[in-house]
Structure 1
Amino acid sequence: MSVMFGFLCSRQLLALKHRRTHLGFLQQNGFFIVKSFTSVGLPESNQKPDEEKKHSFAMSYLINSCGLPAKSAILASQRVLFQSPERPDSVLNLFKENGFSNDQISHIVRKHPPILLSDLEKTLLPKIELLRSIGVSSSDVITILTSNPFLFKSSIKKYLIPCYDFLKSVLLVDEKVLKIFKRSSRFFLSNVTNTIAPNIALLRQLGAPPSTISFLAFSLRRYVGWKTCNILTSNSFVS
């Protein structure tokens, strides 16, 4: 409850900072140069179909503004279509304002192109602020979200906070929860009720003390999300 309260308070304060235009960002950084097709002024008779124009614009933007190689841009443009730079510009601006480097932004966009069309205040900012509110350093926030940008689309109420609270109750020490966030962030993309909780319940039924459960959950975290039948039959647990 305290995590949610502190998080919501910080949201109200930090949201004010970002309720302004993000235009002009690309002009200040040589790496990000937008070449908008809207300024080219193609003859009316040569206009492409709407879908093809969106694809061409997106591919150009991915190369010129996000630093993707041509081959990666072609693949990425099949997953995200747009013909206006406003929303993508604001997303790139948000990342830069929060300390992400050009290479990190390029990596995020390459792994998850639809992120360019994300809502800043509903999708992106809440994840950054949540990580900070639970004690993750700014540099680690960047590392976590760069390595696993799919966390941006994970629900805070359904997955991130419940998973954090559950792991905190099991691992007992905050530092261990943060280490799992940094090393095994895919945990926070799962529904703990259906994955982690049954295995912890099994350990308790077998009479394992809290300290042992905490040790196993942290040391063998890549197995904790398995189905209980897989854990019991896995050769990895045979000495």
Structure 2
Amino acid sequence: MSLQSVSKTILVLETFLKFPDGRSSVSGLARQLGWSRAATHQYVSTLAEVGWLVQNEKRDYQLSPRAAVFGRFAIEYSGVPPEVTRAMESLVEQLNEPISYAVLNGNEAIIIERHEPKRPFAISRAAEPHLELKTSASGMVLLAFDAHVDASRREGMQDTLAEVRANGYAQSHSEWLGDVVDVVAVPIMSDGECLGALSVIAPAGRFDIPTAREALLTARAKVEAELGGAKAG
């Protein structure tokens, strides 16, 4: 038999994900939940007391750094969704290039899974898992599609990120680990949430970018359909 108090506590935390900036007043949260203000305040004040919620200068509540750390730890160590892993394996065979899956981790993107082709690949020799948000294709995807990124991290990039959202992907041509590389990345979305960024990387000029882009977009559509089906089931 489930504990209603635990279920409702989890529901309160999950509801914060539905607000564009991740913040809400008690009244706004109550409306979203369909609860009374008094009942909502009881859960919110308890979560704030134990450090999972904090209030800003406007007295609105938001998830605390403790919640953020827990969330990132869960993402990094609970494993990549099997639907994503299958897509990565298929993309490696199709493109014969390294395929990575990255998630947001503070002020950077971090690669939590990478699949390599069997042939030697020069820049995979000590692949750096940490990526700059504003300069990497995966980072730009996360900035563009993750609704919970602090707005200050998007400063000066509004036009670029709007284009990424409109296109559904990001590309970069830059130096990485001493090599000039081309990268294409797409988001993986589920119920409006950006779960991570799927990308392909290779030395500049080695792969056909439109072909790689189309492969990633097709993989994204397939993964998101599978994720939706799995949840519905």
Q: Would you tell me which structure has more helix in proportion to its own residues?
A: 1
Give the TM-score of the pair, scaled to structure 1: 0.25
**TM-score scaled by structure 2?**
0.25
- Bigger strand fraction: 2
Structure with the greater alpha carbon radius of gyration: 1
